[in-house]
Structure 1
Amino acid sequence: MDFNGPSTTVMGTEEVDSYYNIWDSLLLAYDQWVALPISGQRPSARYKHAAAVAQEKLYVTGGSRNGRYLSDIQVLDLRTLTWSMVKPHPDPNLDLKGDSNSQEILPASASHSLVKWGNKLLVVAGHSKEPSDTVTVRSIDIETHRCCVEKTSGEVPVARGGQSVTLVGSRLIMFGGEGISRKLLNDLHILDLETMRWDIVQTTQTPPAPRFDHTTAIHAERYLLIFGGGSHSTCFSDLHVLDLETMEWSQPQIQGEEVTARAGHAGATIDENWYIVGGGDNKSGASETLALNMPKLIWSVVTSIKGRDPLASEGVSLCSAEINGEKLLVAFGGYNGNYNNEVFVLKPKPRDSSKPKLFQSPAAAAAAASVKAAYVLTTMTTNKPYVMNADDVTSREIITGTSPQDFTSDINAITTEKKTVESALTEIRLDNSRLKGDLDEMNNTHAELSKELHSVQAQLADERSRCLKLEVQITELRKSLESLQTVEHELQVLQVQKSASEQDMELAAEEQGQRSGGVWKWIAG
């Protein structure tokens, strides 16, 4: 059925018992994905949609399928495991020219973000057929289903899709994405939800490379973590941290499992653990579900699935929810050669949530380091344990959250890390030596090729000089030939003239003989 207005569902005793029995039967094991037995009609399969959980319901908006953007709002009731569709109403204060078509109220879009804020769902940015020049923020009232465009001010960011949007207190922090004309971005903007004002943030140190389809999480309401994503040519496996108090970027050392590069994945946090599912590297889908212990920055693999499993998809969504007292991960949709519309849940096994050690202020870190240094120095010089007074112990415990017995393990850890670093340094030196040899060989080859090139160039210059001489000789011969032809022509003319002259002389002689012939004949006679 459609949700067209406020409603309150009252579950009977039998329905409540059935509800709990379903979830109890589903959640028997930790760290295993389970497909929900959905009843009734499912929404169309899709990817690059957005999802959020509110009031034990999973809300899914938009997405893409077969190159077409979607504009629907689908709702999965996690109590009854049934889907329904919401038809948003226009805000009565908006002028939609009398047309309440939901596509105008909430345009078809993909690669947008969905954030729960109070009793509203905020739809931020995304790609659509009729994009605007700047980022648009729309709100959907969870109770009344009224939808409107929120008026924002300040330095409104350029339009984009594939960005990350993270809620921190009453602020939305937006990073990166793919802008107009497929331009990749790594800018940082903050929207104050109390004033609806955008501000661009100036940061220090090296920010992450421009990217889209990454994911983010917030730790201790202070540290913004960014993982993975892609550019137009590659995918990333890096982790960056932004301190929201100092606005300083860092790329801390990570421990634990080595993670593969991926983009189009999804993330959700439960307690101090950040869970990552799906995504891929342009070759195959990521089959591992990852968990990052945020205080210690340690990666671990929660579970692995088959490569063609719907969860090894790009454009999948992941939310955290609490059902029947259990904290769960809820995944929906995605594309891995096929569009998916299944819903999976996973009950994470409780993990270590000890006090933060990597995320501490510089002053606290320096103080802790000085205490440890004093201990190590005293132990090394006197072979006796460093004895602290009450003030020292209190100061140390406040700063580091450790007891005196922790120093031995800390020293062992530092020693082990030192050996690891020295081993890595030796390997780097060997690599440098090998690379130097390769470079020398390349330089020698380059020198030989340069000599050969110079020789060929000299030969080519000689040939060019010879060609020029031949061309000069040919020109002179042509001129001589033309002169010879002229002389030959004149000779022919003279020969003709001579022949004509000789003929004239013969005719004259004959005429003379004829005139004197009678006299001779008479003498002869």
Structure 2
Amino acid sequence: MPWTVRLEGGPRRVNHAAVAVNEKIFSFGGYCTGDDYKLKRPMDVHVLNTVNYRWNAVKNPERSSPQYNLVPYQRYGHTAVVQNDLVFIWGGRNDEAACNVLFCFDTTNHMWSKPKVGGEIPGARDGHSACVINNCMYVFGGYEEDTDQFSQDVHVLDLKTMEWKYLKTKGEPPSYRDFHSATPIGKYMYIFGGRGNQLGPHHSRDEVYCDQIVFLDTRTQTWHRPTVTGFRPVGRRSHSAFTYKGNLFIFGGFNGISQMHYNDLLRYDPENCRWSVVRPRGHGPCARRRQSCCVIGDRVFLFGGTSPHPDMNLHSTANQQRENYPGLEPIESPLMDHNDLFVLDFAPSLKTMAITNVIEHKLSVEALPESIRFEIRAMTLPNSVTKPLNNAG
């Protein structure tokens, strides 16, 4: 399997949420260094056409429009799930507060709504996970605004009745955490990674990063901890998780104890409870966290996220200076937010392989049919939603 596309110029976003609907990918909100996240401005929505790899921004409604008050405010650390052509946005925060209002985006007409919900509505939070199983949205974990602590609870929203309920599960749940992943495979919800704390629900400098996979059987509401074999992944947070042909894949992420970012691709086989390392061909993404991954057919679309800035001299010098002052904690490396797009093809056609070779070796395309030249232009022409950074982001 190769990485076949690498393009710059898309939305520069971190901690955004994205879903695939037919041949399009919808990306909602997120954080970008330098922007103001205290004011409640409307959430931005970007749409990727996966045929020609072009990003476009959805126009926000005018203040005078009834739609204006139905758009969620710009946020990060939220979740997005899709049911038919509808995307449900829940949770997340700006720099002032977190949210627990449910929003709905219709991908057919780009209209927003606030569905009326009932039942036991969860408290506002960010860094939680959400996935859909059997017409229900399962929300796990996150960092709760009101209690100021990590969660290990499961909340379920029935997308038919719009009723929330707190799920009383059996078995040992995953530890308190945020910025983990929850991935549905059949009737099971698989939880991996995330940031927790040695003090349980309370946040301190004593962070823990779980490397154990745990899954919830939604039929019996029971947690299970399989005995796994094969490669043991490093615990991490802010990674991406997706499924392909019944297997769970993990990409990237960050471990705050080792201060390491990752760009590894790992596969978990739930039938055999086995982890393995996947090594795609081609030029893949640099190590990063807080990116998004969406699967359409045999292709994975990865975009955004943040990484240590390539110029690490300033960071190294700063930490060397801090060593002279006992009691000062080392500072995290300066980060750079990404606006790039990568495509991983699990089953590339002969035509795709030929095109990638033409691109890689910069071969002449003059004698090729126009349809092939169109595909080459689409796979190499940068987007223009955002401009490259001239310095640290």
> Match of 1:338, SS?
strand
Taking the aligned partners of 1:305 and 1:187, their CA distance within structure 2 comes to 39
Match of 2:223 among 249, 263, 267: 249
Distance 2:163 2:69 in 1: 26
Report the equivalent of 1:329.
Answer: 300
Matched residue of 1:106: which SS?
A: coil
Offset of residue 122 of structure 1: 1.1
- Name 2:328's counterpart in structure 1: none
Query: Which of 50, 64, 67 is the equivalent residue of 1:78?
Result: 50
Distance 1:72 1:102, change over 3 A: farther
Alpha-carbon offset, residue 294 of structure 1: 1.8
CA contact (8 A) 2:43 2:71 kept: no
Question: In the alignment, which residue of structure 2 is the partner of 1:281?
Answer: 255
- Corresponding residue number in structure 2 for 1:379: none
Counterpart of 2:191 in structure 1 is: 226
Distance 2:292 2:271 in 1: 24
Residues 176, 185 of structure 1: 8 Å contact kept: yes
Does the 8 A contact of 2:67 with 2:112 survive in 1?
Answer: no
Query: Residue 301 of structure 1: SS of its match in structure 2?
Result: strand
Q: Contact (CA 8 Å) 2:4, 2:342: kept in 1 or not?
A: yes
Distance, in Å, in 2 between the alignment partners of 1:135 and 1:171 is 17
Q: Say whether residues 1:184 and 2:156 are aligned partners.
A: no
Q: What are the equivalent positions in structure 2 for 1:83-162 lying under 5 Å apart?
A: 83-89=55-61, 98-99=64-65, 105-129=71-95, 131=97, 135-162=100-127
Other-structure match for 1:441: none
Check whether the contact 1:277–1:312 (CA below 8 A) recurs between aligned residues: no
> Following the alignment from structure 1 to structure 2, what is the Cα–Cα distance between the partners of residues 348 and 286?
21
Aligned match of 2:14: 47
Task: Give the aligned length.
Answer: 304
Residue 56 of structure 1 is matched in structure 2 by: 23
From 121, 124, 128, the equivalent of 1:163 is: 128
Distance in structure 1 (CA, Å) of the matches to 2:246 and 2:170: 26
How many Å apart are 1:270 and its aligned residue? 1.2
Structure 1 residue identity aligned to 2:154: L
Q: Larger relative contact order (C-alpha < 8 A, sep ≥ 6)? A: 2
Question: Aligned equivalents of 1:349 and 1:253: distance in 2?
Answer: 30
Question: Which amino acid in the other structure matches residue 52 of structure 1?
Answer: V
Match of residue 268 from structure 2: 292
Task: Output the CA distance in 2 between the equivalents of 1:349 and 1:34.
Answer: 11
Q: Give 1:55 shift.
A: 2.3
Conserved? CA contact 2:239–2:251, under 8 Å: yes
State the distance in 1 between where 2:68 and 2:54 align. Answer: 22
Instruction: Indicate the RMSD between aligned Cα atoms, in angstroms.
Output: 2.5
User: Which residue does 2:233 correspond to in 1?
Assistant: 259
Distance 1:55 1:102, change over 3 A: farther
- What's the counterpart of residue 293 of structure 2? 318
Deviating runs (4+, > 3 A) in structure 1?
A: 34-38, 67-70, 98-104, 129-132
Look at both structures and tell me which one has the larger radius of gyration over its CA atoms: 1
SS at match of 2:336: coil
Deviation of 1:192 after TM superposition, in Å, equals 0.2
Conserved? CA contact 2:180–2:238, under 8 Å:
yes
Structure with the higher fraction of residues in helix conformation: 1
Q: Quick check: 2:70–2:112 contact (8 Å CA) kept in 1?
A: no
Structure number with higher strand proportion: 2
In 2, distance between residues paired with 1:102 and 1:83?
Answer: 23
Partner AA of 2:106 in structure 1: D
The answer to whether the 8 Å contact 2:292/2:303 transfers is yes
* 2:345 aligned residue (336, 344, 347): 347
Q: Quote the residue 2:376 is aligned against.
A: none
Helix, strand or coil for the counterpart of 2:337? coil
Return the letter of the residue paired with 1:302. Answer: V
Q: Partner amino acid for 2:133?
A: V
Say if 1:88 and 1:145, in contact at 8 Å, map to a contact too.
no
* Residue number among 336, 339, 342 corresponding to 1:338 in the alignment: 336
Q: Over residues 447-474 of structure 1, what are the superposed CA-to-partner deviations in whole Å (9 max), with x where a residue is unaligned?
A: xxxxxxxxxxxxxxxxxxxxxxxxxxxx
2:167 to 178, 201, 210: 201
Q: Which residue of 2 aligns with 1:237?
A: 211
Residue correspondence of structure 1 range 321-470 to structure 2 within 5 A:
321-322=296-297, 327-336=298-307, 337-348=335-346
Does residue 211 in structure 1 map to residue 177 in structure 2? yes
Identity of counterpart residues, as a percentage? 28
Q: CA deviation at 1:310?
A: 4.3
State the alpha-carbon separation in 2 of the partners of residues 304 and 184 from structure 1: 35
Once residues 311 and 225 of structure 1 are traced to their aligned partners in structure 2, the CA distance between those partners, rounded to angstroms, is: 26
Confirm or deny: 8 A CA contact 1:108 1:129 kept in the other structure: no
CA distance in 2, matches of 1:197, 1:87: 31
Question: Does the aligned pair in 1 maintain the 2:127–2:178 contact within 8 Å?
Answer: yes
Q: Is the 8 A contact 2:3 2:280 kept in 1?
A: no
Instruction: Write out per-residue CA displacement over residues 191-227 of structure 1, whole angstroms, 9 at most, x where no aligned residue.
Output: 000000001000112111110110111222x221101
Mapped contact 1:111–1:162 kept (Cα < 8 A)? yes
CA distance in 1, matches of 2:252, 2:46: 21
| Structure 2: unaligned runs, 5 residues or longer | 197-202, 308-334, 349-393
Shift of 1:334: 0.4
Distance 1:256 1:349 in 2: 24
1:67 Cα deviation after fit? 6.3
Compared with structure 1, are the counterparts of its residues 54 and 74 closer, same or farther at alpha carbon in structure 2 (3 Å cutoff)?
Answer: same
SS of 1:218 mapped into structure 2? strand
Q: Compared with structure 1, are the counterparts of its residues 249 and 210 closer, same or farther at alpha carbon in structure 2 (3 Å cutoff)?
A: same
The Cα of 1:114 is off from its aligned counterpart by 1.1
